[in-house]
Amino acid sequence: MRLQQFLCKTVLVLLILILPSGPSQSATEEPMAILLAGKSDQYGAVQFKICNRAINIVDNLGMALWLPAQPNLSMTLNGENHTYLVNQLEDGRLGEMEGGRRHFRPVCKAELLDKPILLGQHCLHYRGYRKSHFDESLQPAVDFWCLEKNTFAPAVNRAWCSLFLLPADYGFPIQVMSCPGARRWAHTFSVAKFERVPVKMLVLKLPPQYKEAKDKGALFFGKDGVLKSSDLDDLFRSK
């Protein structure tokens, strides 16, 4: 009897050591990214894919890529001629035109309005204030909805928020709208789709066959990163 009890205990210990437990398998799950689709006053119909390794922006004109290794830069990619153009990240933002130049008045304060559920996601709804052009008083300017739980790295969150001229202190926004009665905000985005997708669906690095374009003309109309007269001839001859 003692021998049987000993053998039973031994088998039980071995099973505990060998068989995987439920929670430990979560470490092998595929990393996930967020997909946002909707309408942006800067990009039109647009799709964003965001993870801690990259931000992808896809619209009718092509794709923009942001990588954390160069947090102040982004790249515009043209898949037809395999070229890319490096841009300053701040050039991807829209601002109000004043005196023939861009003039940004960022949010300097935000207050929490409510905690709604947006497309099935628990969010924090903020109203942002900026300084008036006349007397420096704070004026309501923009409403933005942030995920209640933000899992993105600080550099990713800062880059994402900078596209909408928002501070990164309040989390990860998934919708940005002009405040009722206020002047149009620099860049708004109305979200229509929220999904979690595998990270492998994103472009995580610049494809090796892409060549850097010298300017926007070479990016859209040139070949091998350079715009030549023959390229223009081909463009006008094409149907």
Of 25-29, 104-108, 177-181, 195-199, the range with the lowest mean pLDDT is 25-29
Query: CA-CA distance, 54 to 205, in Å (whole number)?
Result: 8
Q: What domains lie within the chain, and their CATH numbers? A: 32-96+103-201 (2.50.20)
Residues facing residue 62 across a β-bridge: 59
Mean pLDDT of 130-145: 90
Q: How many residues does the chain have?
A: 239
pLDDT at 48: 98
Contact 56, 160 (CB under 8 A): no
DSSP code per residue over 98-141: ETTEEE-----EEEEEE--EETTEEEEEEEEEEE-TTT--EEEE
Query: CA-CA distance, 153 to 132, in Å (whole number)?
Result: 32
pLDDT at 103: 60
Task: Inform me whether the pLDDT recorded for 214 exceeds 80.
Answer: yes
pLDDT at 222: 83
Task: Inform me whether the pLDDT recorded for 24 exceeds 80.
Answer: no
Mean pLDDT of 179-203: 94
Residue 38's φ and ψ, nearest 5 degrees, are 170, -150
Task: Inform me whether the pLDDT recorded for 177 exceeds 60.
Answer: yes
pLDDT at 61: 82
Q: Report the alpha-carbon angle 235-92-67, nearest 5.
A: 95
1 CB neighbour count, 10 Å cutoff: 5
pLDDT at 221: 87
pLDDT at 212: 95
pLDDT at 27: 45
Mean pLDDT of 78-97: 77
- Minimal CA–CA distance to 191: which of 60, 52, 47? 47
Q: Helix (H, G, I), strand (E, B), or coil: what is residue 2? A: helix
- In the structure encoding, which two tokens stand for residue 80, read together? 């037809």
Task: Inform me whether the pLDDT recorded for 129 exceeds 90.
Answer: yes
- In the structure encoding, which two tokens stand for residue 141, read together? 């300017």
pLDDT at 4: 53
- In the structure encoding, which two tokens stand for residue 233, read together? 């001839």
Task: Inform me whether the pLDDT recorded for 59 exceeds 80.
Answer: yes
Task: Inform me whether the pLDDT recorded for 98 exceeds 70.
Answer: no
Helix, strand and coil in the chain, % to nearest 5: 25, 40, 35
Q: Which residue has the higher pLDDT, 62 or 21?
A: 62
Q: Exposure string (b/e) for 100-119, b if CB count within 10 Å is 16 or more?
A: eeeeebebeebeeeeeeeee
pLDDT at 9: 52
Residues contacting 32, CB < 8 A, separation 6+: 51, 196, 197, 198, 199
pLDDT at 92: 57
pLDDT digits (tens, 9 = 90+) for 39-53: 998 889 999 999 999
pLDDT at 182: 87
Query: CA-CA distance, 215 to 80, in Å (whole number)?
Result: 16
Q: Helix (H, G, I), strand (E, B), or coil: what is residue 69? A: coil
pLDDT at 22: 42
DSSP character at residue 185: P
- In the structure encoding, which two tokens stand for residue 20, read together? 């995987």
